[in-house]
Structure 1
Amino acid sequence: MHNFFAAILYDPRIGVSHIALYMALYRCWIKEGGTGPVSAFSHEIMPIAKIAGSATYHRVLRELDEYGYLKYEPSFNRMRRSRMYLAEPAALDAGN
């Protein structure tokens, strides 16, 4: 977790919504045992991250993926959860 904050410290692209979403995903990752991907529906994560709009949620999630803070695998199936892989600490250090 410390590496995430170190990585975003000087990244001007990261805003409050990015941090809130990453923290919500991190919380779910811990609840799921702290290994592997986070599997979740957007309606499960959005209230935790205090994000009200699905467009904002998906934009921020795609940006975190694009910036290298996580890997997002959308399911494109309403009955199947999407998967988000939080970046390894070393990858965060190397990325920024």
Structure 2
Amino acid sequence: MKAAELLKYVSSFEKDERLSVWHLALLFAILTLAYKQKQYRTIQVSRSKIMKLSHVNTLPTYHKYFKELQDFGYIKYIPSYHPDCRSEIDLLKRY
């Protein structure tokens, strides 16, 4: 995803009335990790990093809004059950 596509992706958030501050905080954390990794399609993630960056401090809140982001079509979560491999998030086009 190029910078222009990323800007379109971010601007689509304001049009979606389903998104709450919790969704936006999680998306901000995911996009921050994407930027740091210079990856705009598939991002290596850990729950602890996303929670820290988003300031979401409880697991029930994290799981609820993270799942809704998947249901709304913003992200696709690909879990890794291997201790040495991180999970991945695919950013899905929504514009």
Please indicate, yes or no, whether the TM-score normalized by the shorter chain is above 0.5.
Answer: yes
**Equivalent position of 2:94 in the other structure:** 92
**Equivalent position of 2:39 in the other structure:** 34
Q: TM-score, normalised by structure 1?
A: 0.78
**Aligned residues with identical type, % of pairs:** 27
Deviation at 1:35, TM superposition (A): 4.2
Structure 2 alignment gaps of length 5 or more: 1-5
Write the deviation string for residues 40-93 of structure 1: whole angstroms up to 9, x where unpaired: 211111010010012211221111111111111122x26132211112xxx311
Compared with structure 1, are the counterparts of its residues 31 and 6 closer, same or farther at alpha carbon in structure 2 (3 Å cutoff)? closer
Is this contact kept in 1: 2:40–2:91, CA < 8 A?
Answer: no
Structure 1 alignment gaps of length 5 or more: none
Structure with the larger RCO, 1 or 2 (CA within 8 Å, 6+ apart):
1
Is this contact kept in 2: 1:61–1:72, CA < 8 A?
Answer: no
Q: Which amino acid aligns with 1:34?
A: Q
Q: What SS does the aligned partner of 1:84 have?
A: strand
Q: Which amino acid aligns with 2:88?
A: R
Q: How many matched pairs?
A: 89
Q: TM-score, normalised by structure 2?
A: 0.79
